[in-house]
Structure 1
């Protein structure tokens, strides 16, 4: 699993000049292969997270897509279809085992 921290104000689609920007710090979890998918979320600081269900694993290449509506598309991706989920606490040993398997991207 790959973990990428994305700071508030970063473009939702980094390839698009007119992309909307994240209104808060988010984290993107990605499987090593596209088939494994990805999850983009933000922490609420209370044991719950906001999952952005409309953020794709990878945005299409500008040469292969119509980027004329990118502001609208990316704004919708961070404003619609956001789900708040409570994360059940686990024991520290289990968390430590999982954390050792994570690769962090910058």
Structure 2
């Protein structure tokens, strides 16, 4: 009996040792897991940092953007020779080329005439322009005059009967002249303005002088 009890006692001790050993291995495995997670986390952070760095490297710098703007402006100027001129200057030149008496006015005088300005002050109570108009004249009176108002759509209202110098060879009275001037102001020609050759437009623009 004593021998049996001794065997049972050794068996119990053996099982206890085995159980403690397994428990220690399990604890050890659980302790190693966070290290693996930390490694995964570090890899994700490194990957994220690399991605952000790549995105930043791919973005254009302010200097690159400025250079692109300059290149774009130069290309635009080359594509459009009239880019350096105002819309008004281009309009004056095109209108003169369309309805002016000569392609070379020498000097293109531009005079802005306000609504209410008399068409001719040589008679009493003369008719007046009922809108703002532009008056274009060449260097010499013989080159004629162009009086018009723009419509903003490539067309103008041309006061085709207005002359550079008013004359009265028929000896008409003031009332008769007044009626004639009224008719001139009321009957304008609707003219479509061609774009014309850019070189000709630039040549005329460079001859423009503004009158007070």
State whether TM-score is above 0.5.
yes
Distance 1:65 1:34 in 2: 23
Q: Does 1:70 align with 2:177?
A: yes
Query: Comparing 26-35 with 88-97, which one deviates more in the overlay?
Result: 88-97
Question: 1 or 2, which has the higher helix percentage?
Answer: 2
Q: 1:20-41 CA deviation, whole Å, 9 max, x = no partner?
A: 1111111111122222111111
Q: 1:6-60 CA deviation, whole Å, 9 max, x = no partner?
A: 1111111133222111111111111222221111111112111011111111223
Whether the 8 Å CA contact 2:113–2:132 is kept in 1: the answer is yes
**Using a 3 Å threshold, how does the CA distance of structure 1 residues 100 and 44 change in structure 2: closer, same or farther?**
same
State the partner residue of 1:30. Answer: 137
**Using a 3 Å threshold, how does the CA distance of structure 1 residues 3 and 17 change in structure 2: closer, same or farther?**
same
Question: 1 or 2, which has the higher strand percentage?
Answer: 1
- Partner of residue 47 from structure 1, selected from 154, 159, 181: 154
Q: 1:55-101 CA deviation, whole Å, 9 max, x = no partner?
A: 1112238xx86423232111111112x21112233687764542221
TM-score (structure 2 length as normaliser): 0.43
Whether the 8 Å CA contact 1:11–1:22 is kept in 2: the answer is yes
The alignment yields a C-alpha RMSD, in angstroms, of 2.4
Aligned residues: 103
Relative contact order higher in (CA < 8 Å, ≥ 6 apart): 1
Query: Any unmatched runs of 5+ in structure 1?
Result: none
